[in-house]
Structure 1
Amino acid sequence: MLRKLLQRAKISKLGLATPRPRAGRHGIAIAAIMRNEARFVAEWARFHHAVGVRHFIVYDDASTDGTPDILRRTLPDGALTILPWAQRLSDIRLGREIHNQVLAYAHAAGNFGPDFRWMAFIDVDEFLVPRRGDSLTEALAPLEDIPNVSLPWHMFGFSGHDQPPPGGVLENYVMRARDPMSDAPGIRAFKMLVDPCRLTALRIHSMETDGNDATWNDAGQKASLSTRDRADFYSTASVQLNHYYTRSRADLEAKIARGPNLVAKRDEYRRKVMRTVNSIESDLVEDTAARDLARRLGLS
């Protein structure tokens, strides 16, 4: 019985031997795993490079639509590393699937982390939007002494689009769930910015530094990973994390058809996604911060 239960559980948290910083490390890197993001990846890469991301570490999960080539054309020499990442691994004794995304993030931190002060672990439908100034370097300057930042998702929906509209995501999708800290299904979640040279354990949405679960918001307020979902922890003083969860209705259907990163989760994936969509669309507010910044930077 215990063995059967363990077989259903994925390995989704990994410990990490903290990498030692290299001399002169600085700046921000993004680690991302992606598959067939040709329609969206150029805008995502241009935006993050424009707001100060120094390097992109991309784990390509067997793309067939030219995603890696688009990245190479979009980003300057020296700003991009692409690694093939199509394997699916499991614990052979118990049949527990090892989360491929967590594995990629651990590889990025351990092998590239020593060169960077900050590392973000996000997807192509997520944008780091500086709210203090127009660059992430400026936005994060007051947080230099802390080892990690928890950023709440701001969940964007259809914005009235059944089909993909002309132009980019930032220009067209400006309606999001009103309350990022809502307890409605699928709304409240975090991604993290971390000092990779203090990272000791990681999952997709929660990462530990210095061997403990302390975390900070982007205003420098401290909490624990288990208590950061309080309403008074919410902040966008420095950086806002936008999650363009649906894009158009047609894009959402394509997302569902692709399925989740974990093979074991495919059957329940549509139900989970639609619960989240219903939560987003039930209470919307307009948010043009990312669109306005892209315009100021001459990106749209």
Structure 2
Amino acid sequence: MLSFLRRTRSISRIAIDPLAPSPDREGLAIVLIVKNEETHIGEWARFHLKAGVRHFYVYDNGSTDGTLVQIVAAAGVQNVTVIPWNQKLRDGDSGAEIHNQVLAYAHAVQNFGDQFRWMAFIDADEFLVPKSGETLIDCLAHLDNEVNISLPWHMFGRNGFEEPPEGGIIANYTRRHPDPMSPLKGMCNFKMIVDPCHVTALKVHSIETDGSTASVNDRGEKASAPDRKKPEFYSADHIQLNHYYTRSNSELQAKIKRGSNMTRNTSSHLRRVMRKVEQTEAESVEDLVAKRWFESR
């Protein structure tokens, strides 16, 4: 059963009652919400399939291109569940918009979470890169007693590309902002891998388990949700979360035109996106972790 905590502008935190785990649950599932990601979703799916993801729950927010065809072709029909999710819902009393992405996450946990040891909640421009093992499951083995893992963004920019380059994302976008824990607004954030049977509330960048916001980094060091942004919490020893925020300039412009997944003022959305782009590209370092892993498989 879902319950909603109301806010004046939007409902962005959804509380749920945890499910009992299935006795034969295993593996890692990814939950994502998509809209018109045809160009790169095949590469994204192949990458994560090689990384050991067992199943993909794809919430389709009104795609009009070949996104769904591409992800099914890349990952296999048996490994993909597509849920139509083209909606904007509001609280009937306050009028507050219910965050559609968070609603998708809650739906996935409640309907499919009991089948998996782990669930990850990422976007189509985010890649979970194994570092300490062959697969993501290998990289999580030392955290078997944990239920909530926070992975920091590693922010990649346009790499000078005006149009999408041949060869895809991983091979071409190899420069990122040097500081995943940057204090600049909007630069430091996290996505989560959790035990879905311990989830009690969800937001986009913070998931509560057993009633607590505490999570661990990939070394197993614990912090509350606000304390995750302290430099000492940083770790990408086992899994690195690459966020290809812009991709090429033409794709960045399409992203801006597409707008936010929440109802926002257009000029406000533009300023927010471009501020993050400028900060990401102000300085950069080469990062070949994903390229080397993918090309070796």
TM class by shorter chain equals over 0.9
- Taking a change above 3 Å as real, the CA distance of residues 291 and 98 of structure 1, as seen in their structure-2 partners, is same
- Taking a change above 3 Å as real, the CA distance of residues 128 and 7 of structure 1, as seen in their structure-2 partners, is closer
Using the TM superposition, give the Cα deviation of residue 266 of structure 1 relative to its aligned residue in structure 2, in angstroms: 3.6
Using the aligned pairs only, state the percent identity.
Answer: 50
Other-structure match for 1:255: 255
Confirm whether residue 35 of structure 1 aligns to residue 35 of structure 2: yes
3-state secondary structure, aligned to 1:31: strand
Using the TM superposition, give the Cα deviation of residue 118 of structure 1 relative to its aligned residue in structure 2, in angstroms: 0.5
Confirm whether residue 245 of structure 1 aligns to residue 238 of structure 2: no
Structure-2 separation of matches of 1:265 and 1:107 = 27
- Kindly provide the amino acid, as one letter, of the partner of residue 99 in structure 2: H
Other-structure match for 2:127: 127
Other-structure match for 2:3: none
Structure-2 separation of matches of 1:246 and 1:215 = 28
- Kindly provide the amino acid, as one letter, of the partner of residue 65 in structure 1: D
Structure-2 separation of matches of 1:291 and 1:147 = 29
Structure-1 separation of matches of 2:50 and 2:207 = 26
Other-structure match for 1:92: 92
C-alpha contact (below 8 Å) 1:32/1:57 kept by paired residues:
yes
Structure-2 separation of matches of 1:117 and 1:275 = 37
Confirm whether residue 220 of structure 1 aligns to residue 246 of structure 2: no
More displaced, 263-272 or 194-203? Answer: 263-272
Other-structure match for 1:109: 109
CA deviations 1:136-191 (Å, max 9, x no partner) are: 01101001100110000000001121221111100000000000001123210001
Structure-2 separation of matches of 1:157 and 1:186 = 14
Confirm whether residue 273 of structure 1 aligns to residue 285 of structure 2: no
Using the TM superposition, give the Cα deviation of residue 7 of structure 1 relative to its aligned residue in structure 2, in angstroms: 7.9
C-alpha contact (below 8 Å) 1:186/1:279 kept by paired residues:
no
Other-structure match for 1:142: 142
Task: Please report the TM-score for the alignment, with normalisation by the length of structure 2.
Answer: 0.96
CA deviations 1:240-283 (Å, max 9, x no partner) are: 00000011111100100000000135441110001101111112
- Can you give the 5+ residue segments of structure 2 that lack an aligned partner in the other structure? 1-5
- Kindly provide the amino acid, as one letter, of the partner of residue 17 in structure 2: A
Structure-2 separation of matches of 1:9 and 1:33 = 22
Other-structure match for 1:76: 76
CA deviations 1:55-81 (Å, max 9, x no partner) are: 000001111102111122112242110
C-alpha contact (below 8 Å) 1:129/1:242 kept by paired residues:
yes
C-alpha contact (below 8 Å) 1:185/1:279 kept by paired residues:
no
More displaced, 96-105 or 16-25? Answer: 16-25
Task: Please report the TM-score for the alignment, with normalisation by the length of structure 1.
Answer: 0.95
Structure-1 separation of matches of 2:277 and 2:134 = 30
Alignment RMSD, CA only?
Answer: 1.1
3-state secondary structure, aligned to 2:134: coil
Other-structure match for 2:195: 195
C-alpha contact (below 8 Å) 1:216/1:222 kept by paired residues:
yes
- Taking a change above 3 Å as real, the CA distance of residues 227 and 7 of structure 1, as seen in their structure-2 partners, is closer
More displaced, 75-84 or 140-149? Answer: 75-84
- Kindly provide the amino acid, as one letter, of the partner of residue 172 in structure 2: N
Using the TM superposition, give the Cα deviation of residue 48 of structure 1 relative to its aligned residue in structure 2, in angstroms: 0.2
C-alpha contact (below 8 Å) 2:129/2:239 kept by paired residues:
yes
